[in-house]
Chain A
Amino acid sequence: MAEVTYERATCFYPGAEKPAVDGLDLAVKDGEFVVMVGPSGCGKTTALRMLAGLEEIDDGSILIDGNDMVGVPSRDRDIAMVFQNYALYPSKTVGENMGFALKMHGVDKEERARRVREAAKLLDLEDFLDRKPRNLSGGQRQRVAMGRAIVREPKVFCMDEPLSNLDAQLRVQTRTQIAELQRRLKITTVYVTHDQVEAMTMGDRVAVMRSGHLQQFASPTELYDHPANVFVAGFIGSPAMNRLDGTLTPDGISVGGVTVRPPDAIMHAAQGHSQLVVGIRPEHLSIGEGHLDVQVDLVEDLGSDFYVYGHRADDTGATVIVRAGREHPRPGEAIKIKIDTARLHLFDAVTGLRIGE
């Protein structure tokens, strides 16, 4: 049973001016699966390593189960970590790898063997217990890394991009397995990835990070439907949300000559902000009589969906992405795009923060 709380946690890389993680406040509930996601260098891995005890907590604190981890070495934190490159012990067999932590904690041989066998059964590794890591495939090694963590029944799982070295198909497979496993074991998990699809599908809640700062911490649906700022809006969702420059006018919002009228509540909240960013997802645009003139550049065929990429015919030349069906325009065509004003998002262009709920 463990809650994990980051309180103003900060970490500086040696010799750096700006912190890698700056004043992070995050509260993970017991048994929750939290994903930290963001672009490279956003601090997500550092934040995870601070929790594991592999990076110093320079300011603030991190609490596990109410206990402050400042000054506590990794080995005393009861955390199991799955590394990006698996970090399996090369001179030991799979069984010895998985039993290592138990050995270090003085668990006797029989108990160790029993727990290793249990975990091996869960992960389909029973036939490999006597093999050395160098004789395993990538996917098998990944499972051993997971097994090593599971065997320990720790307070917290820390996972550092464990799927990034797998091929695409295996990644999708393993993703569901990990999520299932976590649901069954109910162990608090902090998971780091740069892949927002992984984040959205696996996490109970997702923490979006950028340049060391937390952008938003909410459920995947909340992030998708109500991004807290422009960055989150553009980061979550693939293809990315369209973001257009806009200005406030008495009649509505002008996006490069065309005026759109959002719902009254949003219009009301937008008063006082002169420079705006209007966000609209590709699936909330439609082709037909509408607001924008767009020249089609290319069409992505994903089998189930088609995404039309084009640029605005006016002098802004901004890229626009529309989701279309089988009957879609061809590259080079000029089309008109209609904005579903009920589904648009509004952000202040200066602060980037969301306007309205």
Chain B
Amino acid sequence: MTALAPTVTSVRRARPRPDARRQGWVRRAPLLPALVFTIIVTQLPFLVTVYYSLESWSLVRPGSRHFVGLSNYLDVFKDSQFRQTAINTVVMTGGTVIIAMVIGVALALVLDRKFLGRGIVRTLLITPFLIMPVGAALLWKTTMLDSTFGIVNFVLRPFGIGQFDWLSRLPLESVMIEMIWQWTPFMMLLVLAGLQSQPKDILEAASTDGAKPLAIFRELTLPHLRRFIELGVVLGAIYVVNNFDAVYMMTQGGPGISSANLPYYIYQRAFLGFQVGQAAAMGVVVVVATIIVATFALRLIFKTFSGTEQAA
């Protein structure tokens, strides 16, 4: 055993890291192309939109374009149609997302178990998501919901419903049915991922602990699925709130504006009414509202996703 060498207290000089700064940039470099591209293509137009919103500008009368400050915004807030379409949008988005998620959970539970032909059933169930939205809307408008020749009415005939004109009498609901049909597969797949990521021994433990299947679902599976459901709802809402194709194709927002949502209404103002300034102002209002709601929503998903659940 050698004797311990006496410890030498040396003065530690903080070595300057000349390449620390460069390191930082090297790390950031791969980010930049995507970031720059996105900023240019998305943020610049938004800033321009804000600028346009402060002008009174009609594309049919280009000469009359002039600065009007916030008066467009006043018009927007006074516009009862804007309020109505805003409500429509909320109903449409909330209803579609929630119903699609509920059905999605049910379908995921079915697909989680083995049965004959499970793979084929899954293929069948994801198809609606793949169909072109305008195509799907067209499909529902004509072959499904048409009052005379649509298959839905045919099926409902024995129940005495027969010639119901879906698109005129229940336009908002008709659009929602089409969107639910398209978005359920997405919800289902997310929840299925959640179900399959649950460790099996936890379910076995619950079984030996005396829990019946319903109790297991309620006490263990549902809490586990929470973050997947939240992700599905947020992501789905992002897309559904922006939905344009279905409204455009199925009802053109009508009758009147009973099935118009905000994207369609703004489109109407801009491209059919050529009121650039007004449409721009509406766009800005929608953006601000979305940001407020989204900030809360995103905080939620980040919290549930970055804190990874560890099976003990």
Contact = CB atoms under 8 A, between A and B. Distances in A.
A/B touching: CB–CB < 8 A: yes
A18 interface: no
Interface stretch (B7-15, B53-61, B198-206): B198-206
Contact of B204 (A87, A88, A133): A87
A83 B204 contact: yes
B212 A75 contact: yes
A165 B206 CA distance: 21
A136 B226 CA distance: 22
Contacts of B224: 90-91
A242 B286 CA distance: 83
B210 A91 contact: no
Interface in A127-143: 133-134, 136, 141
Interface residues of B, number: 21
Interface stretch (B72-80, B164-172, B215-223, B247-255): B215-223
Interface in B201-258: 201-202, 204-212, 215, 219-220, 223-224
Nearest to A79: B208
Interface in B285-312: 309-312
A302 interface: no
A264 B312 CA distance: 58
A212 B306 CA distance: 44
A301 B265 CA distance: 85
Contacts of A88: 202, 205, 311-312
Interface in B65-109: none
A142 to B, nearest CB: 10
B311 to A, nearest CB: 6
Contacts of B201: 83-85, 87
Interface string A84-98: 111111111000000
A345 to B, nearest CB: 40
A136 B312 contact: yes
A331 interface: no
A133 B310 CA distance: 8
B311 A85 contact: yes
Interface stretch (A64-72, A99-107, A191-199, A226-234): A99-107
Contacts of B310: 90, 133-134
Nearest to B309: A90
Nearest to A154: B208
Contacts of B209: 75, 80, 100-101, 104, 148, 152
Nearest to B220: A89
A104 B211 contact: yes
Secondary structure call for the B interface = helix
Contact of A100 (B219, B223, B311): B219
Interface residues of A toward B: which range?
A: 20 to 34
Contacts of B212: 75, 104
B205 A75 contact: no
B46 to A, nearest CB: 40
A290 interface: no
Contacts of A77: 208
B208 A86 contact: no
Nearest to B207: A74
Given A87-B199, A87-B202, A89-B202, A54 B207 contact: yes
Contacts of A92: 219
Given A89-B220, A91-B220, A81 B312 contact: no
B220 A74 contact: no
Looking at B206, B210, B211, the one whose CB has the most chain A CB atoms below 10 A away is B210
Nearest to A142: B312
A81 B309 CA distance: 23
A86 B202 CA distance: 8
A52 interface: yes
B229 to A, nearest CB: 14
Contacts of A83: 201, 204-205
A91 B199 CA distance: 13
A53 interface: yes
A53 B209 CA distance: 12
B210 A75 contact: yes
A332 interface: no
B309 A73 contact: no
A136 B312 CA distance: 8
B210 to A, nearest CB: 4
8 contacts: A54-B207, A89-B219, A90-B224, A90-B310, A90-B311, A90-B312, A92-B219, A100-B211
Given A81-B205, A88-B312, A91-B220, 19 more contacts: A53-B208, A75-B212, A81-B208, A83-B205, A89-B202, A89-B219, A90-B202, A90-B224, A90-B311, A91-B309, A100-B219, A101-B211, A104-B215, A134-B309, A134-B310, A134-B312, A136-B312, A152-B209, A158-B208
Shortest beta-carbon contacts, A-B, top 5: A133-B312, A88-B312, A91-B223, A101-B209, A87-B205
